[in-house]
Structure 1
Amino acid sequence: MNHRIASIMLVVLGALLLGMGGKDAQFSANQRDFFKPTDQNLNNLIKIEQDYTSDKNVMVLVEPRNKNIFSPNALRAIQQLTEFGWSIPYSQRVESLSNHLYTRVDGDELMVEFLVEDVNALSPQELLARKRYATQKTGVKDYLITRDGDLSLVSVILNFPEQDSGQAAVKVVEYVRDYVATIDQQYPDIDFRVVGGVAVETSLPAIVQQDGRTIFPFALILVFAFLSFTLRDLIGNLACIATSVLAIFAGMGAVLWSGVKVSPILVNTPAIIVIIAMADCIHLMVNYAQGLNKGLDKKTALEKSIEVNFSPIVFTSLTTAVSFFALNFSESPPFAHMGTAAGVGILYAMLASLTFLPALVYYLPSKARGVTKLPSMGRLIHYYQPHGNKIIVGFVLVMITLASLIPLNRLDDNFVEFFDKKLEVRRDMDFMIERISGSVVVNISIPATENGGIYDPQYLNLLDDLEQRLQQNPQLRFTTSLLEVMKTLNKNLHQDDPDWYRIPESRELASQYLLMYEMSLPFGQDLNNLINFDRSETRVIAVYDQLSDKELIDLEGHIQSWLDQHAFDTKHAIIGSANLAFAHMQYTNVNNLSKGFVVALIFISLLLIAMFRSWSLGLISMIPNLFPAAMAFGVWALISGKIGFGMSVGITITLGIVVDDTIHFLAKYKYAREQLHLNNYEAVEYAMDTVGVAMLLTTAMMSIAFTALLFSDFIPNQDLGLITIITIICAVLVDLVLLPILLLKLFGDKKDAPSARDEPLPGESAVNG
C-alpha cells in the first residue's frame, strides 16, 4: 500500500509479457490432438493407416425423396459425386454404388465392371437386379446402401500431410460443402448431408471460436451483473474485472508460449480463471467494505482487508492451483494445457488481488456499499446449536445415500457425442448411424507367416474363423476383408454357383484369382485398403453399432484372445481404431486423474495443516473438502450417470474450488481464536459473520458464471460446468451448516462470558464498534 503505483505497473507489465505468448495462437482442428504422441492405441491406428489406407474420410449421404436410390436421377447424382470425389484435395480412394466393383463371368472371361456405369444403358429389370445385388451384398449393404435401398453414401478416403493436417481438413470440408450446396440445387428431389469423421472433427475450430466469443464474455457479463446488483459498486467491480483479465493474460499466455493449439477444452480457461480470480476479489472487497462501515479510513480498511485475507487468499490460490496442475496427470493433452493455464492464472490472480487490486481501489471511489445491506449470518449459530446432532446425522445419511449411488456412474464416451445435438454435423452423423452405417470401426491387421502368405488357404481359413468370431457380436453391422473378395471370385469362376462361395482350395489358385482380378481393376479401386504391399498382411474391417467404452474394450479383449489362441505374434498383429483409442484414453484418463486427485489431496492437506498449524483443524477441513465431491457424483448418477471427458476432470478441478470456502472459514475462525481471543462459540459466530456473506456471494457468483459453460456446443464443457455447479453448491451447504456445528461439537458450544468479543476490535472505537 506504500508502493501503489509500482504495484500497479509491475503487475500489468508482467501480465502483458506473459500474454504475448498468445499472439500467434492457432486453433486445433484434429481429433488426434486429444492424444499424446506416445499413445500406443493411436500409434496402432497410424501404423495400420501407413500399411493400408487412411482412416480419415468425408462422406456425402444421398437420400432421394422417392425412397428409391436406384432411380436414374439418384444414380446420376451418386455418379456425379463420385467423380467429384477424385477432385477433392488429398483424396486417396472413392467408394460408392456407382464405382463398386461388380464381378461376373462371361464365357471364360472374368468381367470386372462398375455396378452402375451408364445409367441410361440399364433397363428397369437390370436396375432392379443390381439393386437386389447391392442390398444383399456383404460390404455394400449397411455401408454404401441401406437394406431397403432408400439411402446411399459416397465415401472419400483422405490422406492428409503430416504438417498442418488440421487446416488441410478444414479446407477439404469447406470444398465439399460448397460443391454439395451446388449439386443440391441441381437435384431438388434429393437431400444431401455431409458426414464422416473429418466433417465432425473440423467442427472443432468453429466451436472453439464460437465458445471464445460466447462463454468468456457471457461468464464475465453474468459475474459483473451479479456483483453490481449485490455489492452496488460499479467502479469496484470494474477493478475486480481488470484484476481477472490480467490473470487471464498471464495464464493463457504462459501456456501458449509453448506453442500448443487452442482446443475446445483450453478455450474454457479464461472463464474459469475469471471466476476464481473474482472469488479472491470478492473476499477482499467485502472485508474492505465492512472496514469502511466500521469507520476506518480507506487506506486502513484496505490494509485490514489484506491482513485478514492474506493467508486465506494465498492458501486458497495454492490449493486451487494444485488441483488444476493435477490435470497434468491427464492422458489427454488439452486437459493438461487447461490445468496449467488455469493454475498459472490462479496464482497470478492471487498476486494481482493482493497488490494490484487494493492499490487500484485506493485511487477509485469504490466503497461496495451493498455489503452493509446484506444480513449478518452469525445468528444462524443460535439456530444450529439446539439441532446440532440432528443436522450431523442428516448430513451423514444424505452423504451415505448419495455416495452409494456413485457406482451407478459408468464410463462412456464417443467422439461424435462430444458435439451438441443442435449442431447440424451431429444431427447428420446421428442420422447416418441410425439409418445406414455403424459408428464404431475396428481394424485388425493380421500377419501371415511370410511374404505372399495371404494366399495360403490355411491363412484364409484363419480369417474365416475370425469373421465367424466377430459375427457372434449382435451389434456387428458388417465386415470387409480379403476373404470376401476371394470367396466371390471363387464363386464367379465356377459359373456363379452359390455352393462355390468358399475359400479357394490351393494357394496357387488363390494367387491366380487375385492376379486376374487386380489386372482388371480400374484406377483407384485396388486392394491396398485390405492388403499390404508385399502381400504378407491383410486388414479386417469390422463396423459396429454404438458401443460403450467398456463394451469396446471388452470386444478388443475377445479379439486379442482369438489372436493369442491362434499363435499370432501380438507384436505384429495390430488392433487399431479411433473409437478404441478414445475408449482406452478415457479409462487411462480416469485412472491417471484419480492418482492426480490423491496427490492433490495429500498436497492440499499438508498445506492446510501448515496454514492452520494444527493437525485437528487440518483433519477437520478434509470433511468439507471430500463430502461435496462425493455428494455431487451421487447426484450425477441420478442426472446422467455417464462419465465422459468433462466429468473425468471434474472431480480434480472441484477439489481445489471447494477447498476455498473451507480455508476462508477456518482462517477467520483461527484469527478470532488467536488474534481476537474469542472463545470457541464466538469464534464460530465471528467466522460466520465475516466470511459467510462472501462465501454465499462467491458460490452464487461461481454457479452463475459456470452456467456459461452449459451454452457450449462441446458436451465435455457442458458436463464440466454442470458438475462444478453441483459441487460448489454442495460445498457451501457443508461449509456453512456442517462445518460450524462440527467446530462447536469438537471445541465447545457454550458462549462463555466475559470474553474479548465484548471489547472493541482492532481498528474499531467503542462508538462505531
Structure 2
Amino acid sequence: MFKLFTKSFWDVVARLILRNKIAIILGVLIATGLLATQWKHMRFTYTEANLLPDDHPINIEYNDFLNIFGEEGNLIVLGVKDSTLFTIEKLNAWNKLSQSLKKAAEVETVVSIKDLQKLIKDNKKEQFVLEPFIKDSITSMKQIDVLQEELFEKYPFYDNFLFNKETKTVRTAIYLKKDIVNTPVRKDFVFQNLIPEIKAFEAQTHLDVRVSGMPYVRTLNAQNIVDEIGKFIGLALAVTSLIFFFFFRSLRATFISLVVVSFGVMWTFGIIGLLKYEITVLTALIPPLIIVIGIPNCIFLINKYQHEVKLHGNKVKSLQRVITKIGNATLMTNVTTASGFATFILTESQLLKEFGIVASLSILAIFILCLLIIPIIYTFLPYPKDRHLEHLNKRWIGGFVDWMERMVKQKRIAIYITSVALLILSIIGIFQIKISGSLIEDMSKKADFFQDIRFFEEEFNGIMPLEILVDTKRKKGVMKLSTLKRMEELEEVISETPSLSKPISVVSLVKYSKQAYYNGNPKYYQLPTSQEKNFIMTYAKNSSSEIDLLKNFVDSTGQYARITTFMKDIGTDKMERIEENLQNKVNKVFPKDKFDVTMTGKALVFQKGTKYLVKNLAISLSLAILLISIFMAYMFRSFRMIVISLIPNLLPLVVTAGLMGYLNVPIKPSTILVFSIAFGISVDDTIHFLAKYRQELQANHWKIKKSVYAALRETGVSMFYTSIVLFFGFLVFTFSSFGGTVALGALVSATLLFAMLSNLLLLPSLLLSLERSIANKQVLRQPTINIIPEENDDDENLDDSEE
C-alpha cells in the first residue's frame, strides 16, 4: 500500500512540475526575491561565541559580575618595544597619539605615560592629590632620564601594567565605553580612528606599534570571517564546477548546476536574515557548505536524465523518470544529511542551535531547488549531444568498478582484517585526543593581530581577562584590613603563576596609598597596619581622585571587589590546573560563611563552554545515529540491516577520531561538528547502495551475490562521483585562515573518503558474508519505503505538447 502511495505521489509530483513550468519558475524567483529582502537583517557577531546555555551556572556567575562592574573586555592596548622611543621627538609623538585617541567619542579613558599620576600627600589639607609624571611636553633628555628612573624604580604600582621594566617595553591602555563594546560602533572606531592614527604615527616615527586587547582582536577576527565568506563561496563554486565539468564534459550541465546552488546560497542568506541570526564563524560556513552538498544532488539528477535519454531517446519520459525514480532517493539522502545537522538543535548551546537550524533548513531548500529547477530547465533545452553522454562509458570508471568488484570477490578477508586493524589503531588514537578551550587558537596564525597577541603574552603575560569576584557579604567589607590581606595572599599565588599577569585590584591602590603617605618611598609599597590604615583612610576619604581610582575595583556599596589578571593562550589542561590551584587558595583563605569568591571572565567562560560542547558532541552524534537508525528501520524493517548499514559509517568516524589523536588535533567547537556532519552525509551512500541492492534482489530472484555485484556496479560510479565532489568541496575549507575551519575541512574530507571506501568495500562484503541471515527476510521483499521504484514500473507519458 505504502509502495503504491509512494509511486503515485512521485507521479503526481512529476506531472505538477512538468506541466507548471512557468508558474514554478516564477514561484522560485518570487521566493528568492522575498528572501533577498531579509538579507538586510543579517548582521555579523560582535561578541565571542557563548557556548554555554543562558541558565548555566558559569554564565550566571559571569552575568552577575557584568551587572556589578560592567563589560570587562573593553581594553585595547598599544605597545612599543624600541629603545629609541625614549627620545624627545618620539616620546612626545607617543603621548600625542594617546591624547588624540582620548578625544574619540567611543573612548572612556586612555592611560599612557603622559597620563600617569603620582599620588602625593598634601599635609595641609590631609588628603592625597595627583601630580602628573609629565606636566607638559618633553623638552630635554634629562626629563626622560628622570621619568625612566621614577617609572622603573620608584613606582611599582605601574610595573607590568604600562611597562615592563626588564625589557623596557611600554604600552598604552585604551578603555572603550562599555556600552559600545559589543556593537558595530566598535568596528567603526577600530577601522576609522584607531588603525589610521597608528599608521600615521608609525610613518612619522618609524616605530613598530603592536596592538591587541579583546575588542581589537574580535573586530579584526570578525572582519576575517566576513572576508572568508566570499572567498569560500567563490572557491566552492570553482572547485565543484571544475570537478562537475571533468565528469560530465558539458558546459550546459555545469552552468545549470551553478545556477541551482547559487539560488541555494541566496536562500541560505535569506534564512539567516529571516531568523535574525548573527553570522558567526560557524554559520559563515553554511553557504559554501550548501554548494558542496547541492552539487551531488545535481550529479544524481543530471546523470539519471542523461542515462535515460541514452536508453530510449524520449526527453519528456526521461525527465519524468528523473523525478519519479531519483526524487525519492534524493529526498531520503537529503533528509539524512539534514538530520545530521539538525541534531545540533537539540543541544543547549545557542551557537550550535542556530547552526543546526540554518544548515538543516538550507539542505532541504537546496533539494527542493534541485528537483524543481533542473527538470524544468532541461525541458527548454535540446537533446544532449553525443559528447555529453560519453562520460557514461568512461573506461577508467569501468576499471575502478572492476577493482571494487574484484576486491569484494577475492579479498574479503583482507578487507575485514584491515577494518579491524584500523579500528584498534583508531581506538588507541582516541585516548590521545585533547580538549582545547582557547579563545584565539582558531584565529589566523598569519594575521598581524595574532602575532601581536603573542608579543603581549611574552611581554605582559597575555591579554585575555580572568576576573575574580570577591563578595564580602556585607557593605564596606572590602576595605577591612583582614579582607585586603586575604586578597593579597590570593594575588601572591596569581603573581607566581607563569601564565598569568600581575593582578590589579584595590590591594594595589591601598599599597600605593601607603607609599604616598610615606612621601613616595617605594619600600612602603605594602598594606598598612591597622594603625596606619586609620591615618591613610582619613587622607583617602578627603581625596576625590582616590575615590575615582577605586570605582573600577570596588562597587559603590563596598561589598564587592574584583581582582583582574590577564592570561596567556594556554591549553585546557593547564587552565584547569591553574583554576584548581587558585580555588585551593580561595578555599584556604576565604571562609565560605563570610565570603563568596568566584572566578570568571571571557577566557574561562569559553574554556568551560568547550568542555560543555564535548558532552554535547556525544549527545548530538548519538541522536544522529538514533535518528538515522530509526529511518533505516522504517525503510527496511530489519534489525540486521540496521547493524550492517551502521558499521561502514561508524568505522570512518572512529578512524577520523583516531587521526585527531595521532595528529594532535584537539576537540574544540569547530572540530566537534565533524562527526555529525560526516555521518549525516556518508550514510547517503549506504541508503543508495542498499536500496539498489534490494531492487536487484527482486530482479535477480533473490540471488545474493549477483545482486550485490549488480548494485555495486550500478551505484559505485555515482557514489564515486559524489564522494569526489564532497571530498574536494570540503577541502576548500583548508584554505581558511582559521585553524578550526582548516581542521573541519580536512577532517570531514578524510572521513568522507574513508566512508566511500567503506561503503564500496566493507558494506558489500558484509552483505555477502551474512547472506544466509538476511537473504530470505520478507522485510527485504516488501520495504516500508520503496526508495528506488522498479524499472518495470509503468510511466505515465506526457506528450510533447505538455513540454
TM-score, scaled relative to structure 2: 0.86
Residues 1:547 and 2:574 aligned together: no
**Residue of structure 2 in register with 1:736 after alignment:** 760
SS of equivalent to 2:130: strand
User: Distance between the aligned counterparts of 2:650 and 2:356, measured in 1?
Assistant: 20
Unaligned stretches of 5+ in structure 1? 752-759, 765-769
**Residue of structure 1 in register with 2:158 after alignment:** 140
Alpha-carbon deviation of 1:522? Answer: 5.3
| Contact preservation (8 Å) 1:236, 1:366 | no
**Residue of structure 2 in register with 1:395 after alignment:** 419
| Greater CA drift, 232-241 or 376-385 | 376-385
**Residue of structure 1 in register with 2:177 after alignment:** 159
Alpha-carbon deviation of 1:353? Answer: 3.2
Counterpart residue type for residue 613 of structure 1: R
Alpha-carbon deviation of 1:283? Answer: 1.9
Residues 1:115 and 2:137 aligned together: no
**Residue of structure 1 in register with 2:448 after alignment:** 424
Residues 1:533 and 2:550 aligned together: no
| Greater CA drift, 586-595 or 411-420 | 411-420
Alpha-carbon deviation of 1:589? Answer: 1.7
Deviations 1:714-754 (A, max 9, x none): 333222212111111111111111112111111169x9xxx
User: Distance between the aligned counterparts of 1:571 and 1:643, measured in 2?
Assistant: 36
| Greater CA drift, 545-554 or 11-20 | 11-20
Aligned mate of 1:609, from 633, 637, 640: 633
Aligned 1:468-617 pairs, distance under 5 A = 468-494=492-518, 500-506=524-530, 509-510=532-533, 512-514=535-537, 516-517=539-540, 526-565=549-588, 566-568=590-592, 573-617=597-641
Matched residue count: 751
Residues 1:319 and 2:336 aligned together: yes
| Contact preservation (8 Å) 2:45, 2:279 | no
| Greater CA drift, 391-400 or 110-119 | 110-119
Do the aligned partners of residues 284 and 378 (structure 1) sit closer, same or farther apart at CA in structure 2, a change above 3 Å counting? same
| Contact preservation (8 Å) 2:473, 2:594 | no
Unaligned stretches of 5+ in structure 2? 1-13, 776-789, 795-803
| Contact preservation (8 Å) 1:53, 1:529 | no
User: Distance between the aligned counterparts of 2:154 and 2:410, measured in 1?
Assistant: 76
Aligned mate of 1:442, from 457, 463, 466: 466
Do the aligned partners of residues 743 and 59 (structure 1) sit closer, same or farther apart at CA in structure 2, a change above 3 Å counting? same
SS of equivalent to 1:156: strand
Alpha-carbon deviation of 1:42? Answer: 4.6
Counterpart residue type for residue 184 of structure 1: E
Counterpart residue type for residue 419 of structure 1: M
Aligned mate of 1:83, from 81, 99, 115: 99
SS of equivalent to 1:624: helix
Alpha-carbon deviation of 1:245? Answer: 3.1
SS of equivalent to 1:642: coil
Deviations 1:165-205 (A, max 9, x none): 421110111211122222233323x2223322111111244
Alpha-carbon deviation of 1:266? Answer: 1.4
**Residue of structure 1 in register with 2:394 after alignment:** 373
| Contact preservation (8 Å) 1:29, 1:167 | no
User: Distance between the aligned counterparts of 1:62 and 1:470, measured in 2?
Assistant: 23
Deviations 1:528-555 (A, max 9, x none): 2211112222111122333223332443
Deviations 1:542-572 (A, max 9, x none): 2233322333244334444444442346995
Deviations 1:428-448 (A, max 9, x none): 222222333413321112122
Deviations 1:427-470 (A, max 9, x none): 22222223334133211121224222222111111112212333
**Residue of structure 1 in register with 2:722 after alignment:** 698
Residues 1:200 and 2:217 aligned together: yes
| Contact preservation (8 Å) 2:501, 2:567 | yes
Counterpart residue type for residue 685 of structure 1: Y
Do the aligned partners of residues 141 and 650 (structure 1) sit closer, same or farther apart at CA in structure 2, a change above 3 Å counting? farther
**Residue of structure 2 in register with 1:767 after alignment:** none
Do the aligned partners of residues 725 and 545 (structure 1) sit closer, same or farther apart at CA in structure 2, a change above 3 Å counting? same
Do the aligned partners of residues 297 and 676 (structure 1) sit closer, same or farther apart at CA in structure 2, a change above 3 Å counting? farther
Alpha-carbon deviation of 1:519? Answer: 5.1
Aligned mate of 1:6, from 20, 28, 35: 20
Do the aligned partners of residues 519 and 87 (structure 1) sit closer, same or farther apart at CA in structure 2, a change above 3 Å counting? farther
Deviations 1:652-685 (A, max 9, x none): 2111011111111111111211355452112111
Alpha-carbon deviation of 1:234? Answer: 1.9
SS of equivalent to 1:609: helix
Residues 1:211 and 2:234 aligned together: no
| Contact preservation (8 Å) 2:475, 2:558 | yes
**Residue of structure 2 in register with 1:757 after alignment:** none
Do the aligned partners of residues 747 and 167 (structure 1) sit closer, same or farther apart at CA in structure 2, a change above 3 Å counting? same
| Contact preservation (8 Å) 2:506, 2:561 | yes
Do the aligned partners of residues 613 and 681 (structure 1) sit closer, same or farther apart at CA in structure 2, a change above 3 Å counting? same
| Contact preservation (8 Å) 1:235, 1:366 | no
Alpha-carbon deviation of 1:352? Answer: 3.2
User: Distance between the aligned counterparts of 2:499 and 2:79, measured in 1?
Assistant: 24
| Contact preservation (8 Å) 1:408, 1:641 | no
Residues 1:724 and 2:748 aligned together: yes
**Residue of structure 1 in register with 2:40 after alignment:** 24
| Greater CA drift, 43-52 or 601-610 | 43-52
**Residue of structure 2 in register with 1:755 after alignment:** none
| Contact preservation (8 Å) 1:681, 1:748 | no
| Contact preservation (8 Å) 1:328, 1:340 | yes
| Contact preservation (8 Å) 1:563, 1:570 | no
User: Distance between the aligned counterparts of 1:748 and 1:656, measured in 2?
Assistant: 29
Do the aligned partners of residues 679 and 761 (structure 1) sit closer, same or farther apart at CA in structure 2, a change above 3 Å counting? farther
User: Distance between the aligned counterparts of 2:434 and 2:30, measured in 1?
Assistant: 44
Aligned mate of 1:467, from 487, 491, 510: 491
User: Distance between the aligned counterparts of 2:608 and 2:138, measured in 1?
Assistant: 50
**Residue of structure 1 in register with 2:655 after alignment:** 631
| Contact preservation (8 Å) 2:212, 2:453 | yes
| Greater CA drift, 90-99 or 5-14 | 5-14
Do the aligned partners of residues 571 and 304 (structure 1) sit closer, same or farther apart at CA in structure 2, a change above 3 Å counting? farther
Deviations 1:491-512 (A, max 9, x none): 4434556664432222x74365
Alpha-carbon deviation of 1:606? Answer: 0.6
User: Distance between the aligned counterparts of 1:646 and 1:232, measured in 2?
Assistant: 36
| Greater CA drift, 55-64 or 700-709 | 55-64
Do the aligned partners of residues 574 and 69 (structure 1) sit closer, same or farther apart at CA in structure 2, a change above 3 Å counting? farther
Identity of aligned residues (%): 20
| Contact preservation (8 Å) 2:472, 2:594 | no
Aligned 1:235-250 pairs, distance under 5 A = 235-250=252-267
Alpha-carbon deviation of 1:617? Answer: 1.6
**Residue of structure 2 in register with 1:348 after alignment:** 365
Counterpart residue type for residue 617 of structure 2: L
Alpha-carbon deviation of 1:590? Answer: 1.9
| Greater CA drift, 521-530 or 170-179 | 521-530
| Contact preservation (8 Å) 2:465, 2:601 | yes
SS of equivalent to 1:453: coil
| Contact preservation (8 Å) 1:131, 1:149 | no
Do the aligned partners of residues 663 and 169 (structure 1) sit closer, same or farther apart at CA in structure 2, a change above 3 Å counting? same
| Greater CA drift, 11-20 or 716-725 | 11-20
Alpha-carbon deviation of 1:123? Answer: 6.0
Aligned mate of 1:289, from 306, 315, 323: 306
Do the aligned partners of residues 456 and 403 (structure 1) sit closer, same or farther apart at CA in structure 2, a change above 3 Å counting? same
User: Distance between the aligned counterparts of 1:205 and 1:475, measured in 2?
Assistant: 26
User: Distance between the aligned counterparts of 1:43 and 1:573, measured in 2?
Assistant: 14
